[in-house]
Chains A and B, each alone.
Chain A
């Protein structure tokens, strides 16, 4: 599974974004972040928003904000989103994962543009396969078991 696929699926869900400078941005509508090479902006969208930015010990509520992808440290996504991605990849069959083509294009400047593009596609398929196998074996039971264990330790 590609991080971007998860992110696309996470549109419409609340998520927490930490920026490299330490600011936390919390959103409860959809956020769309272009990670990685393209470094486009993310958009956090209306209609019924709740964007909260934490800046040290101060908090701001804002109608929306755009965050440059490369300033993001991590995104915290609701747990259930990952299951939705899996459904999607299954039903879509061998369609290219979203964002992969774009990434190839993002690399356009370099001389091995063609290679980068092809490679990106290859990765996408390979990963989908790997993911599907893993899912088949592990299944939802294994997952919840693992989770319980993790929390217990914590």
Chain B
């Protein structure tokens, strides 16, 4: 069913969201609806750059509108906490082209 977005199992877990404008937001999924609007708690944005390490901006409690979401992914918190963000280099994502 359409209700089985598969997101139920991710509630209260840390997830990573990529938005249509190419941002990567990481936070705890608190809720969602049929339109994939998401509630992200304790969220932060990861800003990637080829010049310096990954910057993390604290965002807090967010409601992200579903039609602005490209990808929702699970995040392995242990693995993630072992990452040295200051050493990561990556190209920022480009926005989705419609």
Interface of A with B (CB < 8 Å)? 1-7, 20, 35-37, 69-70, 72-79, 81-82, 103, 119-120, 122-123, 126-127, 130-131, 134, 137-138, 143, 146-147, 149-151, 153-154
Contacts and interface: CB of A to CB of B under 8 A. Distances in A.
29 contacts: A1-B31, A3-B31, A3-B33, A3-B37, A4-B37, A20-B68, A36-B35, A36-B37, A36-B65, A72-B65, A73-B68, A74-B62, A74-B65, A75-B63, A75-B65, A76-B59, A76-B61, A77-B61, A77-B63, A79-B61, A82-B39, A103-B33, A119-B3, A131-B11, A131-B30, A143-B42, A149-B81, A150-B58, A153-B44
B68 A3 contact: no
Interface of B: 1-3, 8, 11-12, 19, 21, 28, 30-35, 37-39, 41-42, 44, 56-68, 81, 85
Given A76-B60, A103-B35, 15 more contacts: A2-B33, A3-B37, A37-B35, A72-B68, A74-B19, A76-B62, A82-B61, A103-B34, A120-B34, A127-B11, A131-B11, A150-B42, A154-B44, A154-B57, A154-B58
Given A75-B63, A77-B63, A131-B30, A3 B12 contact: no
Contacts of A79: 41, 60-61
Contacts of A73: 19, 21, 64-65, 68
Contacts, number: 117
